[in-house]
Structures are given as structure tokens and as C-alpha cells.
Amino acid sequence: MKLLIVDKTTEAQALCAKRIKSFSRGDLEMLDLKVKLASDKDFAQRVADVDVIVVGSGLGDTAIAIARQASSLAPWAQMIMFVSDSAYGGGAFRLAHSAGVRKVFPDSATPLDFLQELVAINTEFRRDGRTHEGKIVVVTHAKGGVGATSIAAALADVCSEYGRRTMLWDLDVETRDLSRGLNAYGPEEKVVSAWMTGAQEIDRDTLRNALIPIGQDVGLLTTPERFADAMDLVCHTDGMAIAQRIAEVSRADNDVVLIDTAGRLGPATGALVRIADAVLVVIDDTVLGLTALDRFLSFVKSVVGNPERITFVVNPASGALMSVQEMAAELEPAHKLGSAPWRLPAIPRDPKASLWPGRGKTLYSMGNKQIRQVLEQISRELGLLGDVSTGSIDNAGGALDESGEKTSMSAPRWFQRIFSKKSEGAHS
């Protein structure tokens, strides 16, 4: 967010800016704050591209006039006003709000109060599309063995193909299937343990240091190095705040964040489910899969809050035992989710593609044309590809435009790059 501090003197401007300097580095990065200073004489020339205007208490009686002028020059900008403690009261509120001011603070207000208001503004901007916000998708399942990890890896592969900066997050603390399937090992996991112990702060720099590079646009965040730290992250209530912080920073630093929860719902994964843009529940087409989903929905709906964020994708176990429509018909009378969660097509079966783990590829890069097209459609439906064309992907890995011509996206696959890189050295 671009923030303009307006006050009468440079000393007064610096006093207001000091509040921002007290914010943690992680908070500054999450808000992506860019601060400019201006006086009451020159602020009019600096409001053209700002998001938030802070009117300082040093302006005294002229503050309301400045606020009115700023509101007319930049009606899209949010405005915060500081007043002296003696002036803080109902009269100041009425005048300020009539001038378009969103919030009035006394000079004695804590920096935390100021930060909370900036966070609220930033949240509104993200919701309205005014600022960058990566899409968070939690990939989970009601029953093991349905291929949730395969889907998570494949969706990251699709995002990479379309140039989307993507983070894969492996929260399978017991088996690390995603990390093992991608041959992704390295010292980066020590950074995650350092977050758990408080030895390092969670910010953009440490997040980038924690990511195992999968390719130019994709990094994998694995579980902490120590198993005890990993269990604390997903099972202990203290892990909730850490998981949420990681999600906030990764959302600010990536276009897409895909989280493989391994189906575990605990304090941390529950918190992630609540803040995710979409919860992708991978299911199979068996009777046990259907009954497991029934029980899963009975409690996950309360965690998600808004059932519109739940989406199902069927990964058939052995053909087409039950269609998506048949499964929806069985569950809708009890759960009343509507048609939207069932809109995605089922994943076509491709035995060859299912052999992707450890091969430097994914279900997407090893799959046939049909499975690739379905995975692209799922990515679009989840909003992972941004404003891209609806062209498909050819079998050789290059993107095709609507006329069938190959585009410039036919770069080497990122999973092949990591596989060849890791084989030189590596971790066994």
C-alpha cells in the first residue's frame, strides 16, 4: 500500500512515521507499505497514486480543511487522522467523518492500534482487487489414498506452465509424500525449525530462504527439520499463529499457495482452512469414499464457515464406480451445499501418469491430453491462473493458443529441471 503522511512540519511528519517504523518487518512486508511525506503546502501534488492518507495532529485547526481537499483530490484513498489528546472526542469524530476520514486516533494511541487499522484497510483492498493477493488453496481429503498429493503437485505444475509464482507447502509431517515425490530435500527445512523456536522471524527474506527451489516460478516449503517441531506446528495450538503468519507472508509473496494438509485437521490446518480462498477436497468414487466424505463434511463445514469455498474433485479409484452427479445426489439432501462445489470434472484415469513420484514429473506433465486439459480447467475454476487465455496444453508440454499454435510457454518443465539438478548431488 502507498501511504502519504501529511503534517505541517518535517518534525511532525517524522513523529507520525515513527509509529510505522515500530511495526515488525513481517508486518511491513505483509502490508507492502511504501511511505511518502508531505506538508500542507505540497500534499496536493502527491496524492495522485496513494492508497492511504494520514493527516497528522500538527495541522491543528486546518486538518479538516486538508482532509476535505485530500478527499476531493483522491476519493479512492482511505484517510486516517491523528489529533491531540485534548481534541480527541465526539466533535472531532463528527467533523472528521464529514470530511471523509475513516478513523480518528489520539496522539497517545499505540502503534498497534494504527497497525490494526492499516491491516483492515489492506484486507478490504485485497477483497476488492486493489492490491496483490496470492490465492491460497488448501488441498485435503476425507479418506487416505485418493491422490490429494498428486493433485496438489499437478496444480502447481499447471501454475508454473502459466508463469504463476507458486508455493507448494507440504504439511504431511509424518510421511512428507509431497517432498519425497518431488525429490525435494535440502537445508531449507532448518529455516522452518528456526521459525518454530523463534530463532528467526517469518518474513519475505526468511520465507524465500525456506523454499526448496523447484523451478523459476515454484518453491516447496517442507516440514520443519526436527520431528518434534513438525508435530508442534500441526498439533499444538501455538502452531496456529505460526501457520497463519506463514500463510500471510506467502500470500503476499506469491500468486498461488497450494497447501497439502495430508487430510489432517488440527489447530494449524484448521486455521489455514478458515483463511483459504478455496478448500479443494479430493475424493474417490467408492462407497467408502462417499461415507467418509459424509462424516468429513459433518464437521469441516463449521471450520470452513462459508461452504461456497469448498470444492470437490473426484479422482476415480478404478474407473467410474460413481459419477460426480451420483455422489452429489447422495450427499446434497443432508449437507445442502448446492451445485457449485460439484462443478469440477473428474480426473481421467491414466495409470502411466500415476507413476510420477520420483520421476521429476507430475500427474500433469506425465498425463495424456485429456488429463492435462482437465487439470487446466480445474486450475482456472479455482482462479489459479489469473488473467490468462483459455488455451490448452499440447502433449509435448508447450502451451497452445486457441488456434492450436504453440506459444512461448514451451519452456523446459520445472520438475524436470529439479530432477536433473538434484541427481547431481545429492541427498539420498
Domain residue extents for the chain: 2-127, 135-422
Give CA–CA dist 375/362, Å, rounded.
Answer: 11
Give CA–CA dist 251/128, Å, rounded.
Answer: 16
Q: Kindly state the cell numbers that stand for 105.
A: 486516533
The residue type of 120 is A
2-127 against 135-422: fold identical: yes
Q: In terms of residues, how long is the chain?
A: 428
In the sheet where 2-6 sits, what is the strand order?
34-38, 2-6, 52-55, 78-83, 103-106
Question: CA angle, 75 as apex, 73 and 79 as ends, to 5°?
Answer: 100
Q: 168, 174, 169, 166: which is closest to 144 by C-alpha?
A: 174
Q: 404, 415, 423: which is closest to 217 by C-alpha?
A: 415
- Angle, in degrees to the nearest 10, between helices 369-381 and 148-161: 80
Instruction: Write the CB contacts of 405 (distance below 8 Å, at least 6 apart in sequence).
Output: none
- Strands 2-6 vs 52-55: parallel, antiparallel or unpaired: parallel
The residue type of 75 is P
pLDDT for 319: 61
Question: CA angle, 116 as apex, 120 and 54 as ends, to 5°?
Answer: 85
pLDDT for 318: 67
Cβ–Cβ contacts within 10 Å for residue 92, how many?
Answer: 18
**CATH fold for the domain made of 135-422:** Rossmann fold (3.40.50)
Q: Kindly state the cell numbers that stand for 64.
A: 479538516
Query: Half-sphere exposure of residue 29, counting CA atoms within 13 Å on the CB side?
Result: 21
Q: Kindly state the cell numbers that stand for 356.
A: 510420477
Residues of the chain under the 50 pLDDT cut: 389-428
The residue type of 352 is K
CATH for 2-127, among 1.10.3720.10, 3.40.190.10, 3.40.50.2300, 3.40.630.30? 3.40.50.2300
- Angle, in degrees to the nearest 10, between helices 238-253 and 189-197: 130
- Please give the DSSP secondary-structure letter assigned to residue 406: B
pLDDT for 396: 32
Cβ atoms of 315 and 151 closer than 8 Å: yes
